[in-house]
């Protein structure tokens, strides 16, 4: 015969397992969605370079890898990267990978550069001929990144970038900050800062997909 204590333990266990199941379901807002995460530049193409030698290609890859982890671990998404190391990948190859794999969304990670070392700010781009979904994704990610960086809002913009014009799915390109700004370059050396940047891109994507 079951004791009262045994019954209480069993009921408590069932409640905990149920809570875990519900939480797990809530924590998978991107389940079934396929992403291509593109770390801009790489290999012989360093991108913008900071005053103290930090290269854009390094930072792009670190943020892209953190974004991939957020999309998979928190969102339950399927993710492929255009590059996973310091390798040169042509723009055409990046686009082809997204189109051949029929990705649902394409996210290209970049950081800006300027001849003016005091210039800084946050911007996100969608293609000038992009769909309304592209523009919505851009707007949602821009809002979250400005919230995270606290920098001047340079706007949710359109551009004729190759990876935005040639991809067959909604696509954006992020420019969270200027690596050529010495203060920003120092921040970009922090893994914790780069993870937060990736996480806020992820939050913007979740905001967009929740429409």
Q: Which of 73, 92, 147, 175 is catalytic?
A: 175
CA distances from 33 to 27, 29, 36 (A): 14, 9, 10
C-alpha to C-alpha distance for 211 and 207, rounded to whole angstroms: 7
C-alpha to C-alpha distance for 68 and 79, rounded to whole angstroms: 6
Q: State yes or no: is 184 an active-site residue.
A: no
The answer to whether 180 touches 52, Cβ cutoff 8 Å, is no
The answer to whether 132 touches 94, Cβ cutoff 8 Å, is no
Token couple for 143? 């809002």
Q: Tell me the catalytic residues.
A: 175
């Amino acid at each position: 015969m079951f004791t009262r204590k045994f019954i209480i333990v069993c009921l408590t266990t069932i409640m905990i397992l149920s809570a875990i199941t519900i939480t797990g379901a809530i924590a998978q807002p991107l389940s079934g969605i396929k992403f291509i995460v593109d770390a801009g530049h790489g290999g012989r193409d360093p991108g913008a370079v900071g005053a103290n030698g930090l290269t854009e290609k390094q930072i792009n890859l670190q943020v892209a890898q953190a974004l991939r982890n957020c999309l998979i671990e928190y969102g339950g998404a399927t993710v492929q990267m255009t590059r996973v190391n310091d390798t040169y990948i042509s723009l055409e190859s990046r686009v082809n990978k997204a189109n051949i794999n029929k990705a649902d969304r394409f996210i290209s990670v970049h950081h800006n550069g300027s001849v003016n070392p005091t210039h800084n700010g946050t911007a996100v781009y969608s293609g000038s001929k992009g769909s309304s979904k592209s523009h919505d994704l851009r707007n949602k990610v821009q809002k979250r990144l400005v919230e995270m960086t606290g920098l001047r809002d340079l706007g949710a913009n359109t551009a004729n970038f190759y990876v935005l014009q040639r991809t067959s799915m909604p696509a954006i390109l992020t420019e969270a900050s200027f690596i050529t700004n010495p203060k920003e370059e120092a921040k970009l050396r922090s893994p914790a800062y780069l993870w937060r940047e990736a996480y806020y891109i992820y939050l913007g994507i979740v905001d967009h997909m929740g429409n």
